[in-house]
Amino acid sequence: MTAAGRKRGGVKNIGGALQIAIDGPAASGKTTVARRLASRLHVIYLDTGAMYRALAFLALQTRTDVDNEDALVRLCDGQQIHVVLDPGAPMGFRIAAGGRELDEEALHSNEVTAIVSTVAALPRVREAMVGEQRRIASEGPVVMAGRDIGTVVLPDAAVKIFLTASVEARVARRRAQLEAAGVDVAGHRLAEEIEERDRLDRSRPVSPLVAAPDAHVIDSSSLTAQQVADEIERIVNAAAGR
Ligand code: DC
């Protein structure tokens, strides 16, 4: 995997390597909130789920079996997944796999979603991804969203948030997100997909989805993204003694 330098336009360091970890289950609103927060704080944003999705995309493209851990690790190590931290990009960063830039539609296709939790459960795949995510975070202040950021990737993050929401609220959000990205939701059984991915993400032996003991747990079921970002900004300011 490679990460081309970050685009610095408008990004100013707010002092030290501020790291904010935002974890939570599928469609809990992490990426919307993380991106909004990063933009307010003028720091870089990365959704690590996109990296696992890019690998799933590459596995499909290369017809690599999702249980073939050796081959999947080779895909991770083979410089074929490429992350560019670009706040001006539609997703807040760019990601390419196998020479093709992937948009939300490609990353959230039914095919990718169907296999991504299986691919993400493989220990050596996670090792490769975590190494790359830590390297990206070492470049400067960052808001990173995922499942294991506060527990594994950035255990020393200054602020850790665990974002939850009811299944109903998450289904509504995922539907809106997919529709906005031009994905046809007719073929999706959204509640079942979300519940099944929760089960896989929480029950895997390596880095299961769990709140870090020092995470602030926020239930966003009845909150807007703006309200959640406000709440996290308050937590960040308190942590910074402001
Ligand atoms: O957030 P998402 O739905 O795009 O994540 C896709 C999959 O990747 C999800 O099944 C869990 C996995 N994932 C992970 O295991 N660790 C992360 N840090 C981010 C995502």
CATH of the domain at 222: 3.40.50.300
pTM of the model: 0.89
pLDDT in tens, the chain (242 residues): 765 554 433 333 344 588 999 999 988 999 999 999 999 999 999 999 999 999 999 999 999 999 999 999 999 987 789 999 998 999 999 999 989 999 988 998 889 989 999 999 999 999 999 999 999 999 889 999 999 999 999 999 999 999 999 999 999 988 888 888 787 777 678 899 899 989 988 998 988 899 999 999 999 999 999 999 999 999 999 988 77
CB atoms within 10 A of CB 222: 9
52 Cα: distance to centroid of ligand 1 (angstroms): 6
Ligand 1, pocket-test mutation among 111, 113, 116, 143, most atoms within 8 A of CB: 116
The answer to whether residue 191 is domain-embedded is: yes
Indicate whether 24 belongs to any domain.
Answer: yes
Q: Is residue 235 part of a domain?
A: no
Domain count, the chain: 1
Which residue has its alpha carbon closest to ligand 1 atom 18?
146
How far, in Å, CA of 84 to CA of 126, rounded? 20
**Count of beta carbons in the 10 Å neighbourhood of residue 19:** 23
Domain of 148, in residue numbers: 2-226
Distance 223 CA to ligand 1 centre (A): 22
CA dihedral 170, 102, 74, 201 (to 10 degrees): 0
Residues 6 or more apart from 141 whose CB is under 8 A from it? 13, 14, 16, 17, 18, 19, 41, 43, 44
- Structure letter (DSSP) for residue 149: I
Give the H/E segment covering residue 74: helix 69-77
Query: Is residue 88 in a domain?
Result: yes
Structure-token pair, residue 142: 């960052």
- Protein residues with CB under 6 Å of any ligand 1 atom: 26, 48-49, 52-53, 116-117, 120, 146-149, 197, 201
